């Protein structure tokens, strides 16, 4: 016999009560769930791992002074496993190391199993956490000409004209320090510079043609200081054609086609002028990037630079 048959009025009353209280119960449950979610969000998770600074694998960093007391921050990315190639690792020196070392080191590290990865990247920068330091103007440029041209007047307050001792540091004390710490090939040392660094890279070619196996001048600031670098170029070309230079660095000129500061047309004309010296042994390559602007060229150029510097010709 069913319960509803025995107690029809009682069952009806019970069902009515349940239907009446159901919405209230659902509302209370929803409120309790929302409160629990809010409390969980406000309470730090005890299972979360504290964050820490990222350190790129296979890298080292230290500060060292030059012979004239200027302190530089040196960043190095080097293979940690396997034997070095016969003769030692080739080395690429990257100027403005605070800004650009990361791009080159990451590219080298992920290609560690390829020939371009079996090399050493040396970033040359400055103490501190800024990507660029005002000291780069002194290290990468010539003494400002008088009278000052309009584009350099705002920079007259800064030191310039220290590129000779900086080049001495790169090719002397720093190179010896790297050779003491790592098994390197002293005959395969290359240089990358961008903007003012690219201007310095051209100066290194003109001033010491045998100092580097390969030089990459990216978006070189050739208009700087009344285009004084063009005077150095003319002297260099005269020496090459007179047979007074001999073997010299290979040169790659890099520029972005949207590079308003690096002047793509000037870079193209530079490459054409120097390519005319191929009969005297100078090898020149022009690398253009259609969609790159001044600041984006170095990251885009990292792999091409390493292939140019580290692939035997």
Edge-first strand listing for the sheet containing 184-194: 59-65, 71-77, 120-125, 89-95, 184-194, 214-218, 250-256, 284-289
Residue 103 pLDDT more than 80?
Answer: yes
Mean pLDDT for 31-41 is: 56
pLDDT digits (tens, 9 = 90+) for 63-102: 999 999 999 999 999 999 889 999 999 999 999 999 999 9
Total-model pTM: 0.83
For residue 260, the model assigns a pLDDT of 81
For residue 23, the model assigns a pLDDT of 47
pLDDT digits (tens, 9 = 90+) for 153-167: 888 888 899 999 999
pLDDT digits (tens, 9 = 90+) for 171-196: 999 999 999 999 999 999 999 999 99
Model confidence band, residue 9 (pLDDT cutoffs 50, 70, 90): very low
């Amino acid at each position: 016999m069913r319960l509803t048959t025995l107690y029809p009025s009682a069952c009806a009353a019970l069902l009515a009560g349940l239907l009446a209280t159901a919405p209230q119960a659902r509302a209370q449950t929803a409120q309790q769930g929302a409160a629990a979610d809010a409390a969980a969000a406000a309470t730090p998770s005890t299972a979360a791992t504290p964050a820490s600074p990222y350190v790129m694998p296979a890298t080292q960093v230290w500060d060292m002074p030059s012979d004239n007391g200027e302190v530089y921050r040196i960043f190095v990315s080097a293979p940690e496993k396997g034997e070095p190639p016969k003769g030692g690792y080739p080395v690429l020196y990257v100027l403005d190391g605070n800004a650009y070392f990361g791009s080159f080191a990451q590219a080298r590290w992920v290609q560690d199993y390829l020939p371009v990865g079996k090399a050493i990247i040396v970033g040359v920068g400055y103490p501190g956490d800024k990507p660029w330091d005002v000291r780069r103007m002194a290290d990468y440029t010539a003494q400002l000409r008088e009278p000052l041209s309009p584009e350099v007047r705002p920079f007259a307050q800064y030191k310039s004209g220290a590129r000779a001792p900086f080049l001495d540091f790169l090719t002397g004390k720093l190179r010896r320090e790297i050779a003491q710490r790592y098994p390197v090939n002293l005959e395969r040392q290359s240089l990358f510079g961008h903007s003012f660094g690219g201007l310095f890279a051209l100066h290194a070619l003109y001033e010491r043609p045998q100092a580097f196996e390969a030089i990459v001048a990216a978006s070189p600031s050739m208009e700087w200081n009344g285009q004084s670098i063009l005077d150095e170029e003319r002297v260099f070309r005269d020496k090459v054609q007179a047979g007074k230079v001999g073997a010299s660095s290979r040169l790659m000129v890099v520029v972005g086609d949207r590079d308003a500061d690096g002047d793509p047309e000037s870079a193209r004309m530079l490459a054409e002028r120097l390519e005319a010296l191929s009969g005297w042994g100078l090898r020149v390559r022009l690398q253009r990037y259609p969609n790159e602007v001044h600041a984006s060229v170095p990251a885009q150029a990292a792999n091409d630079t390493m292939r140019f510097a580290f692939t035997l010709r």
